[in-house]
A and B are shown apart, each in its own frame.
Chain A
Amino acid sequence: MKLKQVMVKEVKELLKERTVLLGVILGPIIIFTIFAGMSMAAGRQALEQAEQVRNYAIIYRGHAYGDYARMLADSLGVPLYTGSVDPGEVLEGRTAVVIIGDEFFDNITRGLPGRADIIVKTSSLNFLSMSLPQQVEASFAQGVYMLVADLVSSLLPEADVRFLQSPVVANTTLYYRGTPLSPGEAFGLVFGVGLSVTMATMILVMSSMQVAATSVGIERESKTLEMLLSLPVSRRELILGKILGVAFITGLGIISYAVGIGIYFYSLGSIVSQAPEQGVQASPVVSVSPTSIAAFMAGLTVTLVTSLLIGLVVGSIPQDVRGAQLASSYVGLLLLAPVFAVFFGIDLTSLEGVWRVVYLDPVVLLYLVIWGVVTGDPGMATTGFAGLLVNLVVWVVVASRVLGSEAILVGGYSRRLRGLFRVGLPRSSS
């Protein structure tokens, strides 16, 4: 009986602790709802891509096997072009074009895998679109298999049919916004930019928000804020001093980041420089120059200053350090969520309709800057940077208002957001 009373007391007490409510009970629902949204969007994109995979044409450049080429195209249900037609024209309105010649059928008729060039066009580059060339190749290979399996018994009684397990050897090229990329290059770009650089940036953004939120949280928890506000210093100087102090700490992070990313880009550069010697064509899409690094660092700096302003604002809502850190973690997660969407196959560089709302997110804007810089797209980088500057101005105004208001002292923001975080900075105690 007493056990029950103790347990009930404990449950009531913990449920009133809003950090517990948010972190333990609501947190998983929020996180998984976000991921569910991403998965659904990614699923829709995968279905659309599956449709696209069938939307390709065959170009036959030879003369001797015209009938076979026609039969192959018919069995696949795709158009056939012959002669010296321009692949670029054939690609208009299509996902891919498969180019084959007499050598392809020479090999097939000798029981060897046929050689084909597959050119795939995509306007977005992510983990999903990266697999397009393989999917087109698989679709084409399936058609070859079906054709040969029908003919093999009558035309090629002596053929070694084991080659049918893999009837096509394809040289695939992915055209991303008009620039050719080998599968390795596409993977490097998506992995390098989409994962390594972005993840490192996300960690730095989260850290800055945490530092800023902690700074305000410490002032409130240790009850030093009221005395600080009473000292002979203007609110503007106080806020600016706090921002600059936090910015200094973040600056140390930026320096560390610059060194780290310098090492990363240096290693990329050394690999790229070795490529021609190894007979590998270096990708023209990866553009790493002092200018691009400077542009990237400028974008990163603006983003980090913005994120620390957001951290200061978010950190001023709860009463203590724990609450401030939790709040900044959740807001950070919301800001980073769209970038996670990249790993679900969603292209952040070409969002449409209501999804464009995520362009208000400074982390997404930084992603555009990174992507624009690395892929040599100055338009995208400039758009992202302009968005970041607008974001910065907005958050400077918001932070000035929040930190300069008396609500930060008497818990006005907490009361307005009651129910979200543990609240209750000393109102008037007497």
Chain B
Amino acid sequence: MDVILVEDLRKSFDGHEAVRGVSFAVGEGEIYGIIGPNGAGKTTTLRMIAGILRPDTGRVLIQGKEPGEAREEGLIGYLPEDAGVYRHLKGIDFLRFVAGLYARGGDEVEEMVERGIEISGLGEALNKPMGGYSKGMKRRILLAAVLMARPRVAILDEPTSGLDVYHSVMVRNVIKEYARSGGTVLLSSHNMLEVEYLCDRLMFLHRGRKLGEGTPGELVARYGGANLEEAFINAIGGVDVEA
């Protein structure tokens, strides 16, 4: 059974159609990427799958459940693109807060927090208020909060956005490891190299429409070009300097 099933998803804001009939499915343990430029509809799509926005039409099922229900059952972990942190909360307390919402018992909280400490790699900094964290530290604590609970589906919007090379590699390894342990990952990114390295399959999204879907190799073969980046440009019909 597909862990994520998306059918003919549509969403408009003030008459502007942000997502226009997007459909795809993601299986267990798969890393699925959505690639597209700014304004393509990636974040709106991910928000609808995470149960934060309601689609105008179409449907999303997470393990056969509506997103809202799946979210409340702890099946979904979501990392927004430009998520912030609670300035006065210590990192360790934030992990404990999130774990408390996912866990079904006290022991489970501590297990999750231990995992979160490991994933974040923040060490002693976890005992300091998050307001003093660098951008990279904030991204790592948020990613740790999403993955430590081992939700069935991790939805990551630009997971390495703003991170330096070292921390980007670290985060990618964490995502790979999570998928290897059976977790399903749905992510969006501008970074074609990252997507090529991480994703089993991916989709090109442009102006709210799905242009193509397949493995990175299949897409390069279908649209031509030396790499995924060129394939994407070819798929959208070249670079539009007016856009």
Contacts and interface: CB of A to CB of B under 8 A. Distances in A.
Contact of A223 (B40, B41, B82): B82
B39 A430 contact: yes
A230 B74 contact: no
Contact of B53 (A410, A415, A426): A410
B66 interface: no
A380 B77 CA distance: 53
B38 interface: yes
Interface in B30-89: 36-44, 47, 50-54, 71-74, 76-87
A405 to B, nearest CB: 10
B78 A227 contact: yes
Interface in B122-169: 142, 145, 155
A229 B83 CA distance: 12
Contact of A231 (B44, B84, B101, B155): B101
Given A430-B38, A430-B40, A226 B102 contact: no
Interface string A378-408: 0000000000000000000000000000100
Contacts of A231: 71, 98, 101-102
Contacts of A427: 13
Contacts of A223: 80, 82-84
Nearest to A411: B13
A407 to B, nearest CB: 10
Q: Which range contains the number of B residues in contact with the other chain?
A: 35 or more
A232 B87 contact: no
Contacts of B76: 230, 232
B92 interface: no
Most chain B beta-carbon neighbours within 10 Å: one of A230, A409, A410: A230
B87 A230 contact: no
A165 B134 CA distance: 80
Interface string A216-238: 00000111101101111110000
A266 B129 CA distance: 44
Nearest to B74: A232
B43 A230 contact: no
Closest 3 CB pairs of A and B: A230-B78, A223-B84, A428-B44
Given A222-B87, A230-B77, 11 more contacts: A222-B86, A227-B79, A227-B80, A230-B78, A230-B155, A232-B72, A428-B11, A428-B18, A428-B39, A428-B41, A430-B44
Interface of B: 11, 13-14, 18, 36-44, 47, 50-54, 71-74, 76-87, 98, 101-102, 142, 145, 155, 188
